[in-house]
Amino acid sequence: MASRLYPSTRALFFQVVKVLRQLGLGLAVTPTAFALMALYLCGLLLLDKRQTPWRIEQWLPARCHDATNRLLREMTLSTRQLLRALAHWAKGQGSGYLCLDEVVIEKTYSRKVAWTGWIYSFAKKRTVYGLHVVVLTYCVGPYRVPVNFRLWRPEGACGKGTYQTKLQLAEAMLVEVQTWGLKAEYLTFDTHYTAGWFTKKLSRFGLTWVGTLDPKVKVVYHGRSSSVRELAGKLKLKWRDHLDLRATAITLYAPKFGHLKLVVTKNRHGNFEYLVTNAPKADLTQLVLRKRSRWSIETVFRDTKQFAALEACQCRVDSAWVRHVAFALIGFTVLQLLRWSPEETLGTVKERLQLQALKGDLQPPTPLKAQAALT
């Protein structure tokens, strides 16, 4: 297949194949599917927009676009096996932590895709037409590795009795990851996933979790019941120079959650935040830093959209959407392994790959010498 590529893009294909084998993905699929997946990933990483099978064929003519379409729609391929291989590789990189969150993929004109519907986008502060993807990311050292995901389907597009909430999808993802043997120091998420039944299940799984409590949640402190917001107004907060905010930590009981460690914080703008964990021995600084580490998954969404074509799929078939999201997340991981140093940004990596494909092995011409101005 590589022999049919342009000489300037052949090096990119071999780099992607090498990284995929390093991640262990060569053993998770058939050789044909592996070669087509590598070709598709090259297209996602090389092009800046409209990374469709037809356009990928124009730049990487190793196979026709029908073969790439079959990869997305019909070919025997398990995305779970690919993610399991990613999780196994991530586990070998050392001890890390898990981040759980969701991303909105806006698809304004995709009315016939079963996954789409009217949903609220917190990034744009308005309702958009698109789909939700719930993603679980394992962060270890300089790597952010997506190890599991689920596409959320609106209730109106589901059959009777088949609808699942995002929390139920998250539960299934965490159970899967645990069966794969991936252990984490802690799991962090936002307010939406800090639900009573969900956090209790996490505690039964033996997971340490860190979340944000809704201000209206009822808690019991020193025998008195009140909302978290009311309780926070009565607490004395101390300025923490190393965290750049005011904060205090207490242990309390919440009827929906059980016994919790609560850290109330107030920043320079006067905004309160209520951080909670099921680890009673966690100190204030550790809890605040763990909650701040959740930002890693936001950068995953940003970089996967900008550099790995997360929003590029134009298919209507369910399997094509699921596989495209999996390939985009794998492409994001491939970009991280193609860095020359941990400080190199993924935008710099993609630009370097594009320049290599543009000029191949040719050296730039000698700079022109400027003539002295005539007087």
pLDDT in tens, 31-73: 999 999 999 999 999 999 889 999 999 999 988 889 998 999 9
**Does the pLDDT value for residue 113 go beyond 90?**
no
Distance CA 227, CA 256 (A): 12
pTM, rounded to two decimals: 0.92
The pLDDT score that the predictor gives to residue 373 is 59
The pLDDT score that the predictor gives to residue 375 is 55
The single-letter DSSP state of residue 271 is -
Distance of alpha carbon 266 from the chain centroid:
28
- For residues 267-280, average pLDDT: 91
Of 119 and 219, the structure prediction assigns the larger pLDDT to 219
Nearest residue to 259 via CA among 284, 238, 277: 277
Q: With the C-alpha atoms ordered 313, 323, 150, 344, is the resulting torsion angle positive or negative?
A: negative
Exposure of 76 by Cβ count < 10 A (0-12 exposed, 13-18 middle, 19+ buried)?
exposed
Of 261 and 120, the structure prediction assigns the larger pLDDT to 261
- For residues 351-367, average pLDDT: 84
Question: CB of 307 within 8 A of CB of 133?
Answer: no
As a whole number of Å, the CA-based R_g of the chain is 24
- For residues 115-143, average pLDDT: 89
pLDDT band at 372 (very low <50, low <70, confident <90, very high): low
Distance CA 350, CA 357 (A): 11
The pLDDT score that the predictor gives to residue 117 is 85
pLDDT in tens, 148-202: 999 998 887 787 888 999 999 999 999 999 999 999 999 999 999 999 999 999 9
| Token pair for 99 | 């981040």
Distance CA 193, CA 211 (A): 8
The single-letter DSSP state of residue 139 is E
Q: Poorest-confidence range of 158-162, 232-236, 272-276, 304-308?
A: 158-162
DSSP, residue by residue, 213-239: --TT-EEEETTEEEEHHHHHHHS--EE
The pLDDT score that the predictor gives to residue 94 is 93
pLDDT band at 23 (very low <50, low <70, confident <90, very high): very high
Nearest residue to 261 via CA among 219, 215, 207: 219
Distance CA 26, CA 20 (A): 7
pLDDT in tens, 65-94: 899 989 999 888 899 999 999 999 999 999
The pLDDT score that the predictor gives to residue 290 is 94
The pLDDT score that the predictor gives to residue 370 is 65
Distance CA 179, CA 80 (A): 12
Output b/e per residue, 126-136; b: 16+ Cβ within 10 A. eeeebbbbbbb
List of long-range contacts for 52-56, beta carbons under 8 Å, 24+ apart: 52/312, 52/314
Distance CA 202, CA 334 (A): 30
Of 145 and 281, the structure prediction assigns the larger pLDDT to 145
Three-state DSSP class for residue 5: coil
* In the chain, domain spans: 2-78+316-359, 190-293
Q: Which residues contact 74 (CB under 8 A, 6 or more apart)?
A: 319
pLDDT in tens, 337-348: 999 998 999 999
Tally DSSP H helices, then E strands, for the chain. 12, 12
Distance CA 257, CA 62 (A): 55
pLDDT in tens, 310-336: 999 888 888 999 999 999 999 999 999
Amino acid identity, residue 197? W
The rounded mean pLDDT for the chain is 91
**Does the pLDDT value for residue 222 go beyond 80?**
yes
pLDDT band at 371 (very low <50, low <70, confident <90, very high): low
pLDDT band at 364 (very low <50, low <70, confident <90, very high): confident
Phi, then psi, of 101 in degrees rounded to 5: -165, 180
Q: Poorest-confidence range of 122-126, 145-149, 235-239?
A: 122-126
- For residues 358-373, average pLDDT: 74
